[in-house]
Amino acid sequence: MAVISDYALLGDCQGAALVSSDGSVDWWCPPRFDAPSVFARLLGSTGGFWSIRPLGRYTTSRHYLDGTMVLRTEFQGQDGVLRLTDALSLGAGEREHGIGYTSPHVLLRQVEVVAGAVDVEVELAARPEYGLVSPTVARTPLGIEISGAADRLILVADRDLDVDGSLVSGRLTLTEGDSAVFALHHRRAADPRTVPLDGRAALRDTIAAWQSWDRIHHDYQGPYREQVRRSALVLQAMTYQPTGAVVAAPTTSLPEEVGGAANWDYRFGWLRDGSATLRALWVAACPDEAHRFFDWMAGCVGSVDTGAHVPIMFGVGGERDLTEHTLEHLEGYQGSRPVRIGNDAWQQKQLDVLGEILECASVLREELADPSPVAANLLRSLADQAADTWREPDASTWEGREGERHYLTSKLLCWVALDRAVKLAPALDAEARVPRWSQAMEQIREAILDEGWSPSRQAFTGAFGSDHLDAGALVMPIIGFLPGHDDRVRATVDTIRRELGRDDLVQRWTGAGEEGAFIICSYWLAQSLAMTGQIDEAKQIFESVTARANDLGLLSEEVDRRDGSLIGNFPQALSHIGLINAAWAIGQSEPGSDT
């Protein structure tokens, strides 16, 4: 079986598929990111797949077509060269900011022989609902219809294929200049039938659609432009265009440690990562995407009831209840069980979400000069809640399930909530609340400087009264709590780098054991080093961790420090967000920068 780094992401701005380097689609969850899969071999041998590859021995190379999320894989065989082009179709005629609104949920695959002759093997075994269902397969005038549970699939191909039970297969002999196209259409059982697409025309149109979006997002002129550009495309592919939500990852249960149980469903949008996400969209895309993301956040939260905590995450459609359960029939990626769908972290209290939303509003402050009454009331309520609750323990940004504590990052983000609210007060019609907010903000500041600093470690630590380090403390200069040149900031950065880092890879906290290094932590380190004036070291960290991406520039959540392999859900939005923000910070910190 393929490993995580072998996979490429296909996206249509509503859902995603993963295709391996040998041409197997092992993950697809139409019609939206968090829907039940029709292919899930990524998580278990019975999960279903769709493979297209040459017979015999071959080597492969692959790349995304420039400015797109359309994948091209070349198979070099003994007798010829086969080119496979894969995409999830975008809506007909969609261009620029309009891509992804009418995606038809069609997986497009085209093969062509560019030299010699190639025998091609096609195997399609759909297994709806995470592999629970073995569907019926029948030929119809429209194509091969695959039916099971709530899913209906129609495969349209310009070559004859065989049906054997629930397996669709075929062997094609193609010579130079020959090609074949396959279009797998998905709909829910209750949806009306539609006319199948012309696969060749849809593929051309999808390429043009992605390139039109890419052309209008070339404003970033800082360092590492190509890596930032690719990350922007990845984030757009992971955006649920109907609402503007950005999923943390398009996968579930890819493990934080292979063989372990820390396997979570990331196919939702996290408010907790909101400000970093919005800044990355602003830097690498444009204000349009940032605005839509903020509007999704604000719409999900609604009104803030007294005494109720603000959820940290929502479904991409705004759903709040994301109750978690396990899929016992799947053995998990390389035996990593359990496989989970849903995520019970939605019930956690994390105070940092208050600061995340107000920081987003601060980034957009020029555009929010005259916020709607609903938005203004929400932001005032969040600031009030920060002033009222900052002394309370919570679950922290890392979503630990071992209990609540007084985490440093949570206090920092409560301070951010109040600092930004004070600055936004005129626009929020909240000048009368400024004295109370300012007083609470100063109390938080004093508590962090007193109780968050460890004299024995000479660093800010993960929780009040603790000597355990936490990479989350690296955000201090990033959020503006202390300047980069502050001696305590520099000492904290140096201590975290020395004690949590190895080979430029940074673990989350003291005592992480064999847990992988979280990629975002290394990008926070690079960003913090840049802000402390250590530009060369920031570049070293940035380039080292970015080199851990796979051959397509895709990053997972973590890197296994034992063998350098990518682990965790993939691709990981926060890792690509960290890349963008660290690149921008490095550019801003360079002498004479005009980034």
Which of 215, 247, 281 is where one domain is finished? Answer: 215
Residue 396 and residue 310 share a domain: yes
Instruction: Tell me if 503 sits within 8 A of 496, measured CB to CB.
Output: no
Which of 163, 188, 215 is where one domain is finished? Answer: 215
Q: Tell whether 231 is covered by a domain.
A: yes
Task: Select from 429, 428, 387, 382 the least CA-distant residue to 411.
Answer: 387
Task: Tell me the CB-side half-sphere exposure of residue 256, using CA atoms within 13 A.
Answer: 17
Q: Tell whether 533 is covered by a domain.
A: yes
Tell me which of 126-130, 370-374, 407-411, 465-469 is least confident: 370-374
Q: Tell whether 451 is covered by a domain.
A: yes
Residue 170 and residue 87 share a domain: yes
What's the pLDDT band for 369 if we cut at 50, 70, 90? low
Mean pLDDT across the chain, nearest whole number? 96
Instruction: Tell me if 163 sits within 8 A of 100, measured CB to CB.
Output: no
Rg from Cα positions in the chain:
24
What's the pLDDT band for 595 if we cut at 50, 70, 90? very low
Q: What is the C-alpha to C-alpha distance for residues 384 and 433, in angstroms, rounded to an integer?
A: 9
- Average pLDDT rounded to a whole number, residues 116-138: 98
Encode 352-366: b = buried (16+ Cβ within 10 Å), e = exposed.
bbbbbbbbbbbbbee
Q: Tell whether 594 is covered by a domain.
A: no
pLDDT for residue 114: 98
Number of domains in the chain: 2
Can you spell out the DSSP letters for 518-572?
Answer: EHHHHHHHHHHHHHTT-HHHHHHHHHHHHTTS-TTS---SEE-TTT--EESSSS-
Per-residue pLDDT tens for 430-456? Answer: 999 999 999 999 999 999 999 999 999
Q: Tell whether 484 is covered by a domain.
A: yes
- Average pLDDT rounded to a whole number, residues 2-10: 98
Residue 187 and residue 244 share a domain: no
pLDDT for residue 148: 97
Residue 230 and residue 209 share a domain: no
- Average pLDDT rounded to a whole number, residues 373-396: 94
User: Domain containing 189: what range?
Assistant: 4-215
Residue 434 and residue 311 share a domain: yes
Kindly list the distances between the CA atom of residue 47 and the CA atoms of 40, 86, 138, in Å, as whole numbers in the listed order: 4, 20, 20
Residue 210 and residue 321 share a domain: no
Q: Tell whether 595 is covered by a domain.
A: no
Per-residue pLDDT tens for 174-225? Answer: 999 999 999 999 999 999 999 999 999 999 999 999 999 999 998 899 999 9
Count other C-beta atoms under 10 Å from residue 164's C-beta: 8
Residue 250 and residue 179 share a domain: no
pLDDT of 594 > 60? The answer is no
Q: Which CATH number is 184's domain given? A: 2.70.98.50
Residue 232 and residue 157 share a domain: no
Residue 396 and residue 281 share a domain: yes
Residue 236 and residue 207 share a domain: no
Q: Which CATH number is 468's domain given? A: 1.50.10.10
pLDDT of 271 > 50? The answer is yes
Q: What is the C-alpha to C-alpha distance for residues 435 and 441, in angstroms, rounded to an integer?
A: 10
Q: What is the C-alpha to C-alpha distance for residues 564 and 243, in angstroms, rounded to an integer?
A: 36
Q: Tell whether 220 is covered by a domain.
A: no
Q: Higher pLDDT residue, 303 or 228?
A: 228
Which of 174, 195, 215 is where one domain is finished? Answer: 215
pLDDT of 76 > 60? The answer is yes
Residue 188 and residue 266 share a domain: no
Q: Tell whether 74 is covered by a domain.
A: yes
Task: Tell me the CB-side half-sphere exposure of residue 165, using CA atoms within 13 A.
Answer: 5
Residue 257 and residue 206 share a domain: no
Q: Exposed, middle or buried: residue 474 (CB in 10 Å: 0-12, 13-18, 19+)?
A: buried
pLDDT for residue 368: 63
- Average pLDDT rounded to a whole number, residues 112-120: 98
pLDDT of 243 > 50? The answer is yes
Q: What percentage of the chain has pLDDT greater than the value 70? A: 99
What's the pLDDT band for 111 if we cut at 50, 70, 90? very high
